[in-house]
Structure 1
Amino acid sequence: MTDQQTNPNGPTDSASYAAAAFADAASKPFPADIYTAPQLRWAVIGAAAMAQQMATSFALGGRTFHGVWNRTHSKAVDFARRNNVERVYDTVDELLADPEVDAVYITTPHNKHIEFMRQVLAAGKHALCEKPITLNSTELAEARSLADAHGVQLIDATTILHMPLYREIIRRAMADEFGKMNLAQINFGSYKEYDPSNHFYNLDRAGGAMLEIGVYAVTMARLFMVSQPEDIVSIANACPTGADVTSGIVMRNPEMQMATLSITLHSKQPKRTVLSFDKCFIEVMEYPRADKATITWTEDGRREEVSAGDMAYALCYEVADLEKAVAGDQTERAMIEYTTQVMEIMTKLRHDWGVVYPEER
């Protein structure tokens, strides 16, 4: 059960959940089964909240970044001091020329991802890029081509793609324990006070609910559908800046599996997924980094609790999966196909809604 289910006074936002999970994990031995591939040497581009979460995740396993670059140099210096980072680079070129760096974690504003991926991949460095990996399918196709051309791995840091819980549920689904998945119902609601200059609502910073939080819902739906949806209908509300803020989406694939998504930046709602199969339904709360799910069996109403992984190590799983991909793990290398199909869906939805970023004009 999540804190939200068991403690009404517990954390209610993602940052607080992460902080509570890190504090709990710090008192436990680091799991020996997370980092199983040869360790890479990492640098980070960006020094804001997600970079700090990754540095904290590294520390849980006794790791640290080798180097950091940030547009505001003083922030990079502060980040390095807090996290025992050896090098602070004056320029991105300096980072990319460092032979002590094998892989780069990119955690910049959404509309800067492709700019840095171009440089990182062309320099022969592996890349783990924060969600959404790009603004649209065209940018992602370019990034994938660059990775292929330079023989490096590109991994999407959307946590859902890396959580052990979903690997376990998919394993059981593929073993036909649940029967066919018929319907996925997925919610993600946050309340962000309207401010046209805030990145949530600012098109110049690739704002909007779809890229900010919808990526989780779309990824969750695609992960549990056996093929890419072909029928996608939706309706969205925009704010005065033109960014999407609330949407309802229905998707269906050729196997007649459906997903209904409810996404909003205007109202708090549970981050809740219900996967309805022939033989049961599976409920997951706080699904972006979930480590627990409840299965309710249709025949007798029996409830089964499933646990796998630990939400505290959500970002560690991302790092581990990139290192596995570099070591030749074909399962991890193939995960970029899910990312590609999710980006196709999100690109289509924004096109349908008329949400266009300056970089796309």
Structure 2
Amino acid sequence: MTTYNWGIIGTGRIADYFAEVFPTSQHLYGVAAHKDDGRAAAFAAKHKVAHAYPDYASLLADPAIDIVYVATTHNFHYDNIKAALNAGKHVLAEKAITLNEAQLDELVLLAAQRRLILMEAQTIYHMPLYHALDEFKAAHQLGRPKMIQVAFGTHVPNDPEDRLLNPQLAGGAMLDIGIYALSFARRFMTESPTLLATQMVPTATGVDDRSSLLLTTAHQEQAQIALALQTNLPNRGVVAYENGYLTITDYGRATTAIFTGLDGKNQEIEAGDNSLAFVYEIEDMANAVTTGSDPTLRWTRDTMTIITAARRAWGVTYPDETDL
């Protein structure tokens, strides 16, 4: 595997964990924080990163950096990714990759024009279990899925300043947890889905709390999705085929799936290590840069199309968002 120099934009919790598990096959070269007050230097010291930059622009201007990991909040992703691409850097960006489809389309075009890789750091697209399930489906000739049911619910304290409830930070269930449920459904669907119907109940701050979505494809593969930001739900996905169904619990970083056949017997499929979720993303990104091809981009684009359609139906926009 080719070794690349990586830079991190953002020094929050997810960046901290990213640096903790960063694999030796790659080189974590530098870090920058927004409106830095010593955070980048403290982060670099903690994780033994050689270079701490005074701002994002300085990091992006360093020709030594090949790949930038964008670990900022959702509302900053578009600007951060665009700046990195314009600086000639490949980008691995946290999910949801952008706020809406128009932003993503612009960035995908820019990346293509500059022959750069833009990849979403979506664990579902990189965990080995899902590759193992592809092989299982082929070996057992499961064909197209008939029905997918997927839920994700959590319990965020009712604090209007919380990132997940704050519209200024592009909060809400869809962009934070819904991206997992939609990515799960898209990972199993054999073609691009469309949104048939959706309903949403907002939080007191106006961002989406509880919602349900119904998706379908040209071959009538259906997906039912349930999301909740302030109500716990079992984070579980079920994918039903003609001859049985798969059940994946805690599917974001799952390492085990259960296939239940028509006879009611269960078969366990195992692959991967959930503590290495970021490592799989990082190594897949490095391989994509080396090959010049990202096999996950089509899923990211289809998922963002559904997110945008749902938010339009709900009438939910964020401050200064003019392109929904």
Partner of 2:180: 216
The yes-or-no answer on 1:355 pairing with 2:288 is no
Q: Which residue of 2 aligns with 1:289?
A: 253
Deviates more, 1:90-99 or 1:175-184: 175-184
Q: How does 1:120-159 map to 2 (within 5 A)?
A: 120-159=84-123
Q: List aligned pairs for 1:1-361, cutoff 5 A.
A: 37-58=1-22, 61=24, 65-71=28-34, 72-175=36-139, 177-298=141-262, 300-328=263-291, 330=293, 333-361=294-322
Secondary structure class of the residue paired with 1:360: coil
Q: Distance in 2 between matches of 1:295 and 1:215?
A: 24
Instruction: Specify the SS of the correspondent of 2:277.
Output: helix
Distance 2:87 2:50 in 1: 21
Q: Taking structure 2 as the reference length, what is the TM-score of the superposition?
A: 0.95
Q: What is the TM-score of this pair, normalised by structure 1? A: 0.86
Find the aligned partners of 1:93 and 1:357 in 2 and give their Cα distance: 25
Q: Distance in 1 between matches of 2:123 and 2:217?
A: 24
Residue 168 of structure 1 aligns with an amino acid whose one-letter code is: A
Paired residues of 2:144 and 2:189 also in contact (CA < 8 A): no
Deviation at 1:93, TM superposition (A): 2.0
AA in 1 matched with 2:273: D
Give yes or no for contact 1:296–1:304 (8 Å, CA) kept in 2. Answer: yes
Is the Cα–Cα contact under 8 Å of residues 186 and 261 in structure 1 kept in the other structure?
A: yes
Q: Which runs of 4+ in 1 moved over 6 A?
A: none
Are the aligned partners of 1:64 and 1:84 in contact in 2 as well (CA < 8 Å)?
Answer: no
Q: CA deviation at 1:136?
A: 0.3
Q: C-alpha offsets along residues 204-228 of structure 1, whole Å, 9 cap, x if unaligned? A: 1101100010000011111111112
Output one character per residue of 1:269-328: Cα deviation in whole Å (capped at 9) or x when no partner.
Answer: 221011111111111111001111111111x22211111111111111111111111111
Aligned amino acid, residue 81 of structure 1: A
Q: CA RMSD in A?
A: 1.4
- The one-letter code sitting in structure 2 at the alignment partner of 1:282 is L
The answer as to whether partners of 1:64 and 1:85 remain within 8 angstroms in 2 is no
Q: Distance in 1 between matches of 2:259 and 2:136?
A: 12
Offset of residue 91 of structure 1? 2.0
Unaligned runs of 5+ residues in structure 2 are: none
The structure whose residues are more often strand, as a share, is 2
| CA gap 1:173/1:62 in 2 versus in 1, 3 angstroms | closer
- The letter of the residue matching 2:256 is K
Report the secondary structure of 1:66's partner residue: strand
Aligned length: 321
**Identity of matched residues, %:** 34
Amino acid paired to 2:120: D
For 2:154 and 2:261, how far apart are their aligned partners in 1? 31
Which amino acid letter does the alignment assign opposite residue 338 of structure 1? W
Distance 1:287 1:74 in 2: 37
The unaligned stretches of length 5 or more in structure 1 are 1-36
Report SS of the residue matched to 1:241.
coil
| Structure-2 separation of matches of 1:277 and 1:55 | 39
